């Protein structure tokens, strides 16, 4: 960054991300029911892709668009790397009451899917322990119910086309009923968080091709 005279201004990473951590790092204060998603510790390529999506108008959240609009890919990549390497404690799981049949349905959808409806198991892409897969698939635990519902709802309603290329997640969300979305969001928000994202080789070739090989393998790097 340069000021009006072209001189370099102080640009440590802590300075750079101050504008972000107002919303993204006060996990201990905000707690899980807040809508702000956690970004610390997420796969680097995933964070990078989302930053580009916000900047380039594929994902909408005005306060972030304003911050990101003049940032280069290089700059966004460094920010992504910074947040990806941050290790912050996770908040406690939410405690949302669920009926036994809801828990059964959530577990079935997440670990087995409904192949007849073209819905793969969520865990097949998001990892056995649902912590995501490096470098570009995010985890599904450690997120609030409100946030998960909003993301899946946005895809179902066709309002979000955020992926860089073929939007596999949007196709899957469109197969889910509103009631399935609500049940899955409750179940996920109730889970404790442990472990790390899995490595790319756990993904089947078929599922990789269903999304985008370049994105899932390289996280958007050229």
Q: How far is the CB of 158 from ligand HEC (least distance, A)?
A: 15
Which C-beta is closer to ligand HEC: that of 131 or that of 168? 168
CA distance linking residue 174 with residue 163, whole number of Å: 15
Per-residue CA distances from 47 to 85, 140, 170 (Å): 11, 14, 18
Q: How far is the CB of 137 from ligand HEC (least distance, A)?
A: 5
Residue 219, sorted as left (phi over 0), alpha (psi -120 to 50) or beta, turns out to be left
Radius of gyration of the chain (CA): 18
Which C-beta is closer to ligand HEC: that of 5 or that of 177? 177
Q: How far is the CB of 74 from ligand HEC (least distance, A)?
A: 14
Q: How far is the CB of 81 from ligand HEC (least distance, A)?
A: 11
CB contact set of 159 (below 8 Å; sequence gap of 6+):
none
Which C-beta is closer to ligand HEC: that of 36 or that of 90? 36
Which C-beta is closer to ligand HEC: that of 59 or that of 156? 59
CA distance linking residue 155 with residue 175, whole number of Å: 10
Which C-beta is closer to ligand HEC: that of 83 or that of 89? 83
Q: How far is the CB of 203 from ligand HEC (least distance, A)?
A: 8
Residue 96, sorted as left (phi over 0), alpha (psi -120 to 50) or beta, turns out to be beta
Q: Point out which residues bind ligand HEC (CB under 6 A).
A: 19-20, 22-24, 35-37, 39, 46-47, 49-51, 59, 61, 63-64, 67-68, 79, 109, 119-120, 122, 124-126, 137-138, 140, 143, 148, 150-152, 162-163, 168-169, 172, 184, 207, 210-211
């Amino acid at each position: 960054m340069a000021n009006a005279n072209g001189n370099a201004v102080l640009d440590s990473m802590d300075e750079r991300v101050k504008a972000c951590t107002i919303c993204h790092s006060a996990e201990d204060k905000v707690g899980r029911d807040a809508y702000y998603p956690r970004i610390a510790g997420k796969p680097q390529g995933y964070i990078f892709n989302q930053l580009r999506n916000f900047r380039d108008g594929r994902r909408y959240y005005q306060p972030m668009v304003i911050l990101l609009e003049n940032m280069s890919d290089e700059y966004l990549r460094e920010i992504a790397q910074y947040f990806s390497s941050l290790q912050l404690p996770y908040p406690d799981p939410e405690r949302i009451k669920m009926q036994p049949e809801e828990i059964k349905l959530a577990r079935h959808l997440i670990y087995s899917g409904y192949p007849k409806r073209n819905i793969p198991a969520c865990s097949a892409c998001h990892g056995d322990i649902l912590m995501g897969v490096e470098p570009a698939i995010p985890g599904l635990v450690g997120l609030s119910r409100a946030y998960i519902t909003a993301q899946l709802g946005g895809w179902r309603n066709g309002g979000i086309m955020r992926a860089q290329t073929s939007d596999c997640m949007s196709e899957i969300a469109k197969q889910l009923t509103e009631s399935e979305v609500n049940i899955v969001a409750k179940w996920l928000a109730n889970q404790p968080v442990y472990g790390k994202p899995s490595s790319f080789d756990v993904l089947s070739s078929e599922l990789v091709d269903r999304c985008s090989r370049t994105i899932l393998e390289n996280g958007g790097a050229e």
